[in-house]
Amino acid sequence: MHTKSLKQLSALLQSRQVSATELAQHFLARIDTSDLNAFLHVDPELTLQQAAVADQRLACEDHTALTGIPIAHKDIFVTRDWRATAGSRMLANYTSPFDATVVERLGKAGMVTLGKLNCDEFAMGSSNQNSFFGPVRNPWDKNAIPGGSSGGSAAAVAARLAPAVTGTDTGGSIRQPAAMCGITGIKPTYGRVSRFGMIAFASSLDQGGPMAQSAEDCALLLSAMAGFDERDSTSLQRPDEDFSRDLNNDLRGLRIGVPREYFGPGLAADVELAVRAALADYEKLGATLVDISLPNTELSIPAYYVIAPAEASSNLSRFDGVRYGHRAEKYSDLTEMYKRTRAEGFGEEVKLRILVGAYVLSHGYFDAYYLKAQKIRRLIAQDFQQAFTQCDVIMGPVSPTVAWNLGEKADDPVANYLADIYTLSTSLAGLPGMSVPCGFGQGDINGKRPVGLQLIGNYFEEAKLLNIAHQYQQATSWHLMQPAD
């Protein structure tokens, strides 16, 4: 069962060849024997209650294409009755009284929650080593990171512990772990998916999206996840869409922009080889490659690491030990309680970003750093719009290298930041982007590690992106490969 697509599972459920309860039990058994540390909270009783409701809906013919299919949620989405920790000691025992909109919408579609997934603390990281609850291991090579911050989500799909998961992407945190774990993930246009109930990191960048085995699976999930939400001031008022509507369009005449800045120094030879081979496959499908330039790509790292920490410092000020979450046991007055609580509750990476954010927003530095970073952000967005006058979609690598070893870059935050060089600009511009498996690079002596191809579309072109990815996956088999159990 765990090797089947969402479409296949849906057919089995609707034909009564398998029940939602049996399917949930199958995946719970796989989770129970896993040593990847991908799940933070599993409650079989809650899962089987939801499965029983799904079975009732299926019996009454009151169902959607997703009814009865198991899903797991990144622990950045709050969930009623389940813990919602954001991978942090600050929220280690927090249980939300309500569901995030994403969780609510997928629940209304009839999906069955398997549990909550490990992530970098408050989604800050590129390796999933910043979680208070320990690192997640890459199922292709357990000595390697899975990518971050949605590393638990990516590892769960790759290891077939869940057929579908949710993730969030602030600077690449859906695309990069999807690439490093050999699965498919899409970050929609900013505002497509509600941020209500998503524990905030950087409000102008955070965006939820689906991760699964294939583009077809992601299209089904995104159709249920996306939509206007009046509770989210950044939610876009656009009609609901069926993102699988264009999956059968051929690619003849498609113009693929290949940014020269994505293939310069810093890109590993094994990653470039896999990406170039994927581009050649697209040419066989009738597409044409177009040389383009995104000249401000290098500026995306300094711009992002000013804007994101600034917003994080503001968003995380609510975690003060007064209303909910961790509170220090020993303190003499209110000020000391604030200090001790935040010192104990936050990890080192989160503290670093809060300090950077507070600095760039402080008097005398706002114009020099934050305001200038926002101006660069506008230039980056203009680069993309200029590029889209020459092409229909942009393609290149997701990450400069395959997954690195656990602990390898633990003492070098800049090296971790550089891993997002090809994904940050898309997030800063608010564009949709996705990762699809396109091969393997040479890992260490334990074997090969996956490579992802990045697809970037213009605003609201998720259906087009999903079709372009789907056509590639119809012609190749990289997305069907899975690590040994």
Q: Which residues are catalytic?
A: 74, 149, 173
Distance CA 457, CA 117 (A): 28
Report the Cα 268 to chain-centroid distance in Å: 23
346, 347, 349, 350: CA torsion to nearest 10: -10
Going edge to edge, which strands form the sheet with 112-117?
Answer: 39-41, 112-117, 70-74, 164-169, 207-212, 184-187, 433-442, 448-456, 393-397, 255-259, 288-292
Distance CA 54, CA 62 (A): 9
Distance CA 411, CA 392 (A): 40
Distance CA 25, CA 13 (A): 14
Distance CA 284, CA 398 (A): 22
What element of type H or E holds 149?
none
Strand 164-169 relative to strand 207-212, pairing: antiparallel
Six token digits for residue 184:
């498919």
Distance CA 226, CA 245 (A): 15
Beta bridge partners of 187: 433
Handedness of CA 427, 142, 443, 130 (dihedral sign): positive
Distance CA 44, CA 33 (A): 14
| Residue 332 burial class via C-beta count within 10 angstroms: exposed 0-12, middle 13-18, buried 19 and up | exposed
Report the Cα 428 to chain-centroid distance in Å: 15
**Which residue, 209, 90, 214, is CA-closest to 153?**
209
Give buried/exposed letters for 183-196 (b at 16+ CB in 10 A, else e). Answer: bbbbbbbbbbbbbb
Strand 207-212 relative to strand 184-187, pairing: antiparallel
Distance CA 189, CA 172 (A): 13
Beta bridge partners of 138: 141
